[in-house]
Structure formats: structure tokens, C-alpha cells
């Protein structure tokens, strides 16, 4: 029996060998790299856009916080200027009264006549001066905007030199408020003094407090003006 010759029918031809995995990966490698590059660019752009948005938001908050601080400083300056006349008047009244009280005994002794020494009334001009009515208007100073700005990350976007100036001004403002509270306490003590000697000592103490308050107030006013 003769062997069967190989078939020449195309439908019955042997299948082509399947490409190996390495060959298939090599053929698709450019496509994979391009897709990976597009994904990387998309992720980087997304992060960049998000960071830009956050930066813009922080810059806006910093500008808003700066404006709020400036408005607060302006209101505090106006409040300080409104209370300034009472402080000046109280200082002048106490200085005048204490000067008269200290000179009154000497004037009375020098102008006393024998008739007055035997019980006659002293001249009206030598009568003891009446106690002054000391009134002090409180300056209600606020630091809410400054404290809020300190708690925000936006404060890191502000100019350092400007922040330092603002911080020093608010520190002086706190000192002024402490001096104002001490002045009010001295005023209460003066008004509740039971006798002339105690009132005179209380008036001296009050005058000292008012002088300190006036000095701090002048410095604070200058700081406010420098900022504005």
C-alpha cells in the first residue's frame, strides 16, 4: 500500500504557530506605554489643579483676614479717641484738686486773723476745695479678628513684617486694657473713700493710674496710625 501524499487543499492546511507571550507584549508595548503616560499626566494635572485651587482659596482667606484686622484696628482707634477726652479731663481735675488740697492748710494758716482764731468763720476763698467728679469713658477694644486670623492657616500667607507689627500692637493693646482695668479699680476705691485723708490718698493713686493709662493710650494711638 502506497503512502498518502500530503494534501494540497488550503482548507486543510496546518494552522500557523501562535505568537509567544513575549512577542505579543512587545507588539502592544507602545500602546501600553502611551496609555500609562496619559494616566500619569491626568493624575499630575488633577493634583496640580487641586493644589492651585487650595492656594487660591488660602490667598483669598488671607486677604479677607487682613481686611478684617484692618477694620478692627480702625474701630479700636476710633474707640480709643472717643475715650481720650475723659482721660485728659480726669487727669487735669485730679492734678488741680490735689494741688489745691495740699496748699489749702498753708493758705488757711497764713491768712488766719486773730478774729478767725477766736472762732470767726474763715474767708470763703480759703474754704477747702470740693472733691472732683472724675469720669472715665472705657475704650472697648476688640481683638476677635486678630485671634481668628491666628487660628487660620491663611495667616501664613501674610507678610511677616506686617504680622509682627500687628502682633506688637495687639500686645500693647492688651497692656492698655490691663491699665484701664486698674484705673477703674482705683476710681472705685476713690469714690468709696470714707474720709478726706483716705480720699486724698486714693486720688493720688488714681492720678498715677490715669497717667499710666494716658501714656499707654498715646503709644497705642500711634501704633494704630502706623498700621492704618
What does the pLDDT profile of the chain (228 residues) look like in tens digits? Answer: 555 555 555 555 556 666 666 676 677 778 777 888 878 888 888 877 777 777 777 778 888 889 999 999 999 999 999 999 999 999 999 999 998 887 765 544 444 444 444 444 444 445 567 778 888 899 999 999 999 988 887 777 888 999 999 999 999 999 999 999 999 999 999 999 888 889 899 999 999 999 999 999 999 999 999 999
In residues, how long is the chain?
228
Q: Dihedral of the CA atoms 72, 169, 174, 60 (nearest 10)?
A: 40
Phi, psi of 100 (to 5 degrees): -70, -40
Phi, psi of 165 (to 5 degrees): -65, -45
Whole-prediction pTM = 0.70
Q: Residue 140: what pLDDT?
A: 95
CB 110 within 8 A of CB 170: no
Q: Residue 214: what pLDDT?
A: 95
The Cα–Cα gap between 18 and 200 comes to 115
Q: Residue 156: what pLDDT?
A: 79
CB 143 within 8 A of CB 170: yes
Q: Residue 33: what pLDDT?
A: 79
Question: Which CA distances in Å does 9 have to 5, 6, 12, 13, 203?
Answer: 12, 9, 5, 7, 130
In 3D space, the residue among 217, 189, 188 whose CA is nearest the CA of residue 86 turns out to be 217
Burial of 156 (0-12, 13-18, 19+ CB in 10 A): exposed
Q: Residue 63: what pLDDT?
A: 87
Q: Which cell is 210 given? A: 490715669
Amino acid at each position: 500500500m502506497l503512502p498518502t501524499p500530503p494534501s494540497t487543499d488550503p482548507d486543510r492546511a496546518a494552522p500557523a504557530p501562535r505568537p509567544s507571550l513575549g512577542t505579543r507584549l512587545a507588539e502592544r508595548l507602545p500602546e501600553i506605554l502611551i496609555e500609562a503616560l496619559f494616566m500619569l499626566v491626568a493624575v499630575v494635572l488633577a493634583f496640580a489643579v487641586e493644589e492651585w485651587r487650595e492656594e487660591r482659596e488660602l490667598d483669598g482667606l488671607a486677604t479677607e483676614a487682613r481686611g478684617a484686622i484692618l477694620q478692627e484696628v480702625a474701630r479700636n482707634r476710633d474707640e480709643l479717641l472717643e475715650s481720650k477726652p475723659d482721660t485728659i479731663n480726669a487727669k487735669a481735675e485730679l492734678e488741680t484738686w490735689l494741688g489745691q488740697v495740699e496748699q489749702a492748710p498753708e493758705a488757711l494758716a497764713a491768712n488766719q486773723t486773730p478774729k478767725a482764731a477766736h472762732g470767726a468763720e474763715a474767708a470763703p476763698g480759703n474754704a477747702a476745695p470740693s472733691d472732683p467728679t472724675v469720669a472715665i469713658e472705657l475704650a472697648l477694644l476688640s481683638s476677635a479678628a486678630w485671634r481668628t486670623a491666628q487660628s487660620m492657616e491663611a495667616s501664613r500667607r501674610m507678610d511677616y513684617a506686617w504680622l509682627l507689627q500687628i502682633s506688637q500692637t495687639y500686645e500693647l493693646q492688651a497692656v492698655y486694657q490691663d491699665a484701664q482695668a486698674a484705673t477703674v479699680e482705683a476710681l472705685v476705691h476713690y469714690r468709696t473713700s470714707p474720709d478726706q485723708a483716705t480720699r486724698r490718698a486714693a486720688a493720688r493713686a488714681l492720678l498715677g493710674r490715669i497717667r499710666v493709662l494716658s501714656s499707654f493710650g498715646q503709644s497705642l494711638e500711634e501704633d494704630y496710625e502706623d498700621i492704618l
